[in-house]
């Protein structure tokens, strides 16, 4: 099967690998090449095709190997594989490289809930040290002063912004964003169906029919075409005899005939796969069943889930106050659902009012709650507010001022709560994060205080530049109106 190699991809990798094996005078050559892009676009497979074309030996490291129960093992593994690749070039007389797939899954921090371990820190430090001193890589407990040959390192990933910033700086890592253009997509998909003798015009129309799909979609489509024949084989043998017929069989396995690769059939199977994708995007049952999963998204991400025209519940679940019924009603093709007809997981919230400003819902507050809407004595401390921000009937001026101070400084605002038992261990639960929208933040804070009258509630300010907390203020303790 003649697989297609993108000229841009081939050029980038071949230049990076060759440049590291040459002795360029007074040139600082980055040792690491980072290939990043969206999922399923064939980054790893294109790398393997280039390695095969160039005759390069790849020493692979999985992202799962970058963590271990024993501190220091992943860092030692990186050094060991680097020296193994160096030894390979001496013995075989061929180029060798280090290949780390999905590095952001092993060494990246996706959100504030990702644990940052000693191994994560040591892996970043080791990669930086190797990039700065590629000819002097030592193993722990030993020292060899013989200079090593430079061994290029190629890493792949989806989002390099989750990695340690000093490690991906230009002097250490050269970045290559891989997004196949139309010519690349046609070439790659033609290579997938080349052995099946699908006409190029049909391939072009197939790619045109699914313009938003990644490359792996077409591989999955080709695999799906054989399902019917496999199903017939299972029925002919019998479910109770499939295992003995397939594993260590006495008779040779059957040969399957060529499926129907006509364009209408390809389009029909493709549409079936797309419908399955949309079901996953629309359901999001984990968020409905587990509130903490909804709040465990990327730090500060309060955008609606999904998009318009898909009938999803993103509009309703994107913010804390919005309800499922409103989200489906605004979803484009979604069906309108009466919020009162079923038990809702998130509180109802209608963003449309006559004056164009968000309308805060009325939350029933128990009579015993310290947040009952009683008139407050004017407070001497002034507080600023965003234009169009509604006045709060349940928050003290100090609370509103604290919210606005955090948002006015450009920080992300986090709302957290914890019960009395977990307060002693500091196991706070995230209620929501907001940035730049005081109305949504105040609405969420009111909801949190109403729901957690017997818990501790605090505000957290997060610096968006380095994702570090710069402020933690407890605004409510059980049985007290406000205490900071």
Taking only the tens place, the pLDDT of each residue in 429-449 is 889 888 887 888 888 898 898
Q: Are residues 229 and 114 in the same domain?
A: no
pLDDT of residue 150 exceeding 60: yes
d(CA 114, CA 343): 32
Same domain for 462 and 438: yes
Same domain, 160 and 240: no
Domain identity same for 262 and 291:
no
Cα distances (Å, whole numbers) of residue 390 to 13, 145, 315, 452, 476: 55, 69, 21, 22, 21
What pLDDT is attached to residue 337? 37
Strand order in the sheet with 468-476: 429-434, 412-418, 456-463, 468-476
Q: Share the mean pLDDT of the chain.
A: 78
Statement to judge: residues 57 and 152 lie in one domain: yes
The yes-or-no verdict on residue 409 having pLDDT over 70 is: yes
Residue 357 in domain: no
What pLDDT, on a 0 to 100 scale, did the predictor assign at position 21?
Answer: 94
- Tell me which of 115-124, 237-246, 280-289, 383-392 is least confident: 383-392
Do 39 and 154 reside in the same domain of the chain? yes
Torsion sign (Cα): 316, 322, 325, 329: negative
Q: Are residues 169 and 195 in the same domain?
A: no
Q: Using the 3D structure, point to which of 134, 154, 177 is the last residue of a domain.
A: 177
Average pLDDT over residues 94-118: 85
Lowest mean pLDDT among 90-99, 134-143, 312-321: 312-321
Whether 367 is covered by a domain: the verdict is no
Q: Which of 246, 281, 316 is the last residue of a domain?
A: 281
Structure tokens at 122: 């040591």
- Centre a 10 Å sphere on the Cβ of residue 99 and count the other Cβ atoms it contains: 23
Question: What CATH number is attached to the domain comprising 204?
Answer: 1.10.8.1070
Count: domains in the chain: 4
Q: Give the residue numbers spanning the domain of 170.
A: 7-177
Q: State whether 247 and 310 are in the same domain.
A: no
Question: How confident is residue 116, by pLDDT bands cut at 50, 70 and 90?
Answer: confident
Structural domain includes residue 481: no
Is 38 part of a structural domain of the chain?
yes
Kindly state whether residues 304 and 450 are assigned to the same domain: no
Closest alpha carbon to 191 in 343, 375, 349, 5? 5
Boundary-marking domain end, from 155, 177, 199: 177
Strands, DSSP E only, in 5-68?
Answer: 32-36, 57-62
Task: Decide if 159 is inside a domain.
Answer: yes
Q: What is the predicted pLDDT for the residue at 286?
A: 65
Supply the DSSP symbol for 165. Answer: G
pTM above 0.95, yes or no: no
For residue 349, being part of any structural domain is answered with: no
Walk across the sheet containing 96-101 and list its strands. Answer: 57-62, 96-101, 153-157, 32-36, 173-177
Contacts of 413 (CB under 8 A, 6+ apart): 403, 406, 407, 433, 434, 435, 441, 459, 460, 461, 462
Same domain for 292 and 269 = no
Please say whether the beta carbons of 137 and 14 come within 8 A.
no
Q: Both 200 and 249 in a single domain?
A: yes
pLDDT digits (tens, 9 = 90+) for 177-216: 999 999 999 999 999 998 888 999 999 999 999 988 999 9
* Residue 292 and residue 250 share a domain: no
Tell whether 321 is covered by a domain: yes
pLDDT in tens, 24-49: 888 899 999 999 999 999 999 999 99
Sequence-separated (6 or more) residues with CB below 8 Å from residue 259:
225, 226, 228, 229
Task: Output the CA torsion 35→155→57→85 (10° steps).
Answer: 150
Instruction: Look at the alpha carbons of 167, 168, 169, 170 in this order and tell me if their dihedral is positive or negative.
Output: positive
Query: How far apart are the two ends of the chain, measured CA to CA in Å?
Result: 68
Residue 373 domain flag: no
Q: Is the pLDDT of residue 400 over 80?
A: yes
């Amino acid at each position: 099967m003649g697989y297609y190699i993108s000229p841009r991809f081939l050029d980038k990798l071949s230049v990076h690998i060759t440049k590291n094996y040459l002795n360029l005078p007074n040139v600082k050559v980055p040792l690491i090449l980072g290939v990043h892009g969206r999922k399923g676009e064939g980054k790893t497979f294109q790398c393997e095709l280039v390695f095969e074309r160039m005759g390069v030996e790849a020493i692979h490291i999985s992202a799962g190997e970058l963590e271990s129960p024993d501190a220091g093992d992943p860092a030692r593994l990186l050094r060991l594989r680097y020296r193994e690749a160096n030894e390979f070039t001496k013995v075989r007389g061929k180029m060798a490289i280090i290949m780390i797939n999905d590095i952001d899954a092993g060494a990246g921090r996706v959100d504030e809930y990702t644990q940052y371990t000693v191994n994560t820190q040591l892996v970043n430090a080791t990669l930086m040290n190797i990039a700065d001193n590629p000819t002097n890589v030592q193993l722990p407990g030993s020292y060899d002063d013989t200079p090593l040959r430079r061994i290029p390192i190629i890493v792949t990933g989806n989002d390099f912004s989750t990695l340690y910033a000093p490690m991906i700086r230009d002097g250490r890592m050269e970045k290559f964003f891989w997004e196949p253009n139309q010519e690349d997509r046609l070439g790659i998909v033609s290579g997938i169906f080349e052995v099946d003798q699908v006409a190029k015009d049909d391939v072009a129309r197939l790619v045109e029919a699914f313009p938003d799909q990644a490359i792996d979609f077409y591989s999955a489509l080709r695999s799906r075409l054989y399902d019917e024949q496999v199903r017939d084989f299972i029925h002919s043998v019998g479910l109770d005899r499939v295992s003995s017929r397939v594993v260590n069989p006495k008779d040779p396995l059957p040969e399957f005939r060529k499926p129907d690769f006509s364009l209408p059939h390809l389009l029909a199977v493709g549409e079936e796969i797309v419908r399955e994708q949309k079901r996953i995007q629309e359901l999001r049952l984990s968020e409905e069943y587990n509130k903490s999963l909804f709040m465990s998204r990327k730090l500060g991400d309060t955008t609606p889930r999904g998009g318009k025209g898909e009938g999803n519940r993103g509009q309703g679940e994107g913010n804390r106050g919005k309800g499922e019924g409103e989200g489906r009603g605004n979803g484009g093709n979604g069906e309108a659902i009466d919020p009162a007809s079923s038990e809702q997981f998130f509180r109802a919230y209608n963003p449309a009012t006559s004056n164009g400003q968000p309308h805060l819902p009325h939350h029933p507050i128990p009579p015993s709650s310290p947040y009952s809407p009683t008139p407050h004595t004017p407070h001497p401390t002034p507080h600023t507010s965003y234009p169009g921000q509604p006045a709060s009937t349940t928050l003290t001026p100090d609370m509103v001022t604290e919210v606005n101070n955090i948002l006015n400084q450009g920080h992300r605002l986090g709302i957290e709560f914890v019960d009395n038992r977990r307060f002693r261990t500091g196991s706070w639960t995230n209620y929501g994060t907001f940035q730049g929208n005081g109305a949504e933040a105040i609405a969420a804070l009111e909801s949190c205080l109403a729901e957690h009258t017997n818990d501790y509630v605090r505000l957290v300010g997060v610096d968006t530049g380095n994702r570090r907390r710069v402020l933690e203020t407890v605004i409510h303790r059980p049985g007290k109106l406000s205490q900071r």
